[in-house]
Amino acid sequence: MKAWKLVSGIISIILFVLVSLQSCAVGLGNTISSNGEFGGSGGIIVAAMMLSGGIVSIATRKSAGNGGNIALLVLFGIGALIGFSLAGSFTDLKIWAGWCAVNAVLAVVSIVTRKKAS
């Protein structure tokens, strides 16, 4: 899981830039069209969760306890929940929320496999 945490952390940090730019554009479009959607704002929150989760993933990849995995579960879980619930017509946000969900599930797998190894 150490390699996965490093790779997913780097990918999450890189995707943060893309998601942030997309979300700003979508938020501007939502404001101009006055359609009442919150996809842009949701995307900014998902991007922040991806950045935070990526940093925590890299920082805790060699830790012995489950604290880092629990933090990853919370950060990526919040990102997935907000992304899926606020996507609206911003369909790419569902993809980014899916990435967060995959990372949250892998954090759970890491917790479970660590308990079995103890």
- Please report where in the chains the tokens 């609206």 appear, as a residue: 88
What are the pLDDT digits (tens) for 55-107?
999 999 998 889 999 999 999 999 999 999 999 888 999 999 999 999 999 99
Token pair in block for residue 10: 């780097």
pTM, full prediction: 0.92
| pLDDT at residue 118, rounded to an integer | 62
What pLDDT does 22 receive? 95
Instruction: Give, in degrees to the nearest 5, the angle at Cα 101 between 103 and 117.
Output: 45
Q: Is the pLDDT of residue 115 over 90?
A: no
